[in-house]
Every structure is written in structure tokens, then in C-alpha cells.
Amino acid sequence: GENVEQHPSTLSVQEGDSAVIKCTYSDSASNYFPWYKQELGKGPQLIIDIRSNVGEKKDQRIAVTLNKTAKHFSLHITETQPEDSAVYFCAASDQAGKSTFGDGTTLTVKP
Amino acid sequence: GAVVSQHPSRVICKSGTSVKIECRSLDFQATTMFWYRQFPKQSLMLMATSNEGSKATYEQGVEKDKFLINHASLTLSTLTVTSAHPEDSSFYICSARQGAAEKLFFGSGTQLSVL
């Protein structure tokens, strides 16, 4: 089955700095890679996603890159704000819609 | 955007009782719903996949007789934790997708505490 590894497990940055979270996956059949933000006591919220036929996608301060050959994808948050503090999960999904999640990254943005 | 409503948000029950958690898609038809379990500071663990009108598919190690899943309509799936015990205490989350669409929309989660 699919295996997703996510790094780092914790990340602390100063407000205004950039944050980068990286994930690798093992199954070449995975073709959809979403990123979720989860705040304490809440369900995950989709913040950006990318499909396997695209190398990069950007939405305001958030961007995701995908290297299909190397089987890794990354989340980039620029100009971080304290409200960006949360747990971020990457996932790899197959065509059946079954998702495998990374272990999560706790991002802390210090004012 | 698509909204998935999950209730209750928090439930405390006595050991041996059963608890039902509801997951509703409010503005779209969810042909597939997924149920997850999440322990503190850990990732989401898929428990089962639920397709409308058919039996749920459970992941390895998940007891189907303990975690009963019903997906009787295109907008509602329920998870019933039967004869709950303290080790069943966890955060349970559902997600839903429409047809073959890739995006998953998550409920807000249910914190189950079994005394």
C-alpha cells in the first residue's frame, strides 16, 4: 500500500518568514495530493491540492510543488501569520479516492 | 464550498453503551464517505469507506461489528460505536466526496470519551 512520510514534525518560524513542509510517497499510482490544515479540536480543512499532471500550483501565500519522478511534494507558505499556526497534513490519493495521510507538521508562527 | 456537518461534536458515555455519530453532506450528494480515527498528536487513520446503498469496506484491524457504518442516503452516513469501552475514546472524523471528484470535505469531528 501507499506510504507517506512528512517532515518536519514540528516547525517554528517568525511571523513574516516562510515555512516549507515536505512529503514523500511510495505508490506511483497516486495521482492527487492535497494539503490540509487542522486546528485543535476541528476536522481537517483543504487548503490546496495538486494533481499528478501539474508541477506547481499557487494560491496567494500558499504554493505546492510536485516532483512526480522523485515522488515528493512540498507545501510553501510565505509571509506567515500567527493564524497560520496549526497542524498541516499532506496526503496522497489514488483514483479510488482512498487517501493516505502523512503524520502531520505542527507549525507555530511566533508574533 | 461543500459543507459536511458532523454531530455531535463531543460525547461522553458510560462503558458498555453505544454511541451514534452522524455525518451529513449539506449541499452535495456524497456517493462516498470515509470514517477516520485520530489519537492526540497523531495522523488520521482510515477506519472504513462507505458507499451509498452498499456495505462499508473496513480497513484491516477495524472490527466491523464494533464500528457499525450505515450510508442509507446520499447525504447521510452514521457511525455507531457499539458497547463502547475506554480504549474507544478518540476523535472520530468523517469526510465525503461527490462522485468521482477528488476533493474530500471533512466534518468537524467528534470527540468521544468513554468513562
All residues of chain A having their beta carbon less than 8 Å from the beta carbon of residue B43 are 89, 101-104
Q: With cut-offs at 50, 70 and 90, classify the pLDDT of residue A54.
A: confident
Provide, for chain B, the percentages of residues in helix, strand and coil under a 3-state DSSP scheme, each rounded to the nearest 5. Answer: 5, 50, 45
HSE toward the beta carbon, residue B60, CA cutoff 13 A: 1
Closest by alpha carbon to B36, among B62, B11, B14, B17? Answer: B62
Whose grid coordinates read 456495505?
A: B55
pLDDT of residue A68: 93
Average pLDDT, chain B: 93
**What pairing do the DSSP bridges indicate for beta strands B10-13 and B110-114?**
parallel
Q: With cut-offs at 50, 70 and 90, classify the pLDDT of residue A71.
A: very high
Q: Between residues B102 and A90, which one has the greater pLDDT?
A: A90
All residues of chain B having their beta carbon less than 8 Å from the beta carbon of residue A99 are 34, 46, 104
Q: What is the mean pLDDT of residues A95-111?
A: 92
Q: Which residue in the set B43, B102, B108 is minimally distant from A43, CB to CB? A: B108
Q: What is the pLDDT of residues B36-88, one digit of tens each?
A: 999 998 999 999 999 888 889 999 999 999 999 998 888 999 999 999 999 99
